[in-house]
Amino acid sequence: MHDFAIVGAGIAGASLAAGLAQRGTVLLLEAEDRPGYHATGRSAAFWTESYGGPLVQPLTTASYDFLEHHSLLTNRGGLTLARADEAEDLEQFVRTFEALGVRIDRQNRAQIEARLPGLRSEWTCGAYEPDCRDIDVAALHQIYLAEAKRLGADLWVRAELASARREGDGWALTIADGRSAAACVLVNAAGAWADVVAERSGVVPLGISPLRRTVVQLRMSMTVPGDLPLVMGHDGSFYFKPEGGKLWLSPHDEVPSPPCDAAPDELDVATAIERFEQVIDWPIAALEHKWAGLRSFAPDRLPIYGFDGQQPHFFWFAGQGGFGIQTAPAAADLAACLLLDEPAGAIDPAPYSPLRFVQ
């Protein structure tokens, strides 16, 4: 019997496996042929402290040292754009994160244009985060998988959890291909499948919703500036960033979806391009690539870390939305402390507890 069975080997499951494997035996279950096939492998990830809101910021900030130590970050900068009628909301956004110690600079029209030539006239103000970074997602994921393996964790691929039931002091796990396993604690790190895993384990789902996010890669009829920041709309309607001389663009869509191998919808692709053209006057040469992934959110859009309120041997590590990569180091540390009944350190786990959904 393993001490911990973790369902899902994306960034959540892999990071937690690496943290737990030095303290106990770990079984990592991945339904696909390889870990990270879904959200982790489709992320245009960046590290920016304002992304996800004020209650996610502590996790993001606390993850920086690990990411920097492993040379996983590249300077980028983040620019949030707003129209004149959004200026008051943007000012509140700046004040909120300034109060949390985030470096964030107000930008007038001239300052924005210096970074974004060709910007359309309606975008009059902005906020610049100089500490925003790109993240090497694949390298981060591999660091965790390699560390988990080095410490003795077992990884099973093509191992979809069919059912789990509590027997005595442990969980009896049945894999869809007929294999079986046993563990003392079952950890749900299944991303878009988190509620499905709960149901298959006899645990009440928490309402984690998979939402489809579309990304397209554009080849421009001009040279994309290498120092272009990550550009985001304050209204949440777009973001774009350079990548290898091309442009990655998303309409920041959140389309409800069943858990699945997500594919981009043509309407969402067209919406992405239309919104980009409403921001900046840059000629597009070709749409080269398009993809989609599922981001999963709890009802209050905060992650869920902790033991279930009714089944104390079932641990939730889910609902990381679009910020699961940038918060992975701190989230895994926090979850490991909770699983091992150790002090949680500087980050208060209460906002992320599944007990907040108990009526």
- Looking at residue 261, what is its pLDDT? 92
In the predicted model, is pLDDT for residue 283 greater than 90?
yes
User: What is the pLDDT of the chain when averaged over all its residues?
Assistant: 95
Out of 139-143, 200-204, 344-348, pick the least confident: 344-348
Say if 49 falls within a structural domain: no
CATH of residue 101: 3.30.9.10
Say if 33 falls within a structural domain: yes
Q: Do 249 and 311 lie in a common domain?
A: no
Q: Which of 275, 297, 319 is the last residue of a domain?
A: 297
SS3 label, residue 88:
helix
Read off the pLDDT band of 41 (50, 70, 90).
low
- Looking at residue 157, what is its pLDDT? 97
In the predicted model, is pLDDT for residue 39 greater than 90?
no
Q: What percent of the chain has pLDDT over 70?
A: 99
Say if 36 falls within a structural domain: yes
Beta carbons of 200 and 258 less than 8 angstroms apart = no
Q: Do 313 and 335 lie in a common domain?
A: yes
Q: Do 259 and 213 lie in a common domain?
A: yes
> pTM for the full model?
0.95
Q: Do 227 and 285 lie in a common domain?
A: yes
Of residues 358 and 330, which shows the higher confidence score?
330
Using one digit for the tens of pLDDT, what is the confidence trace for 305-328? Answer: 999 999 999 999 999 988 999 999
- Into how many domains does the chain fold? 2
Read off the pLDDT band of 37 (50, 70, 90).
confident
Domain hosting 184: range is 2-42+137-207+300-357
Residue 249 to residues 5, 50, 269, 316, Cα–Cα distance (Å)? 37, 19, 9, 32
Say if 220 falls within a structural domain: yes
Read off the pLDDT band of 359 (50, 70, 90).
low
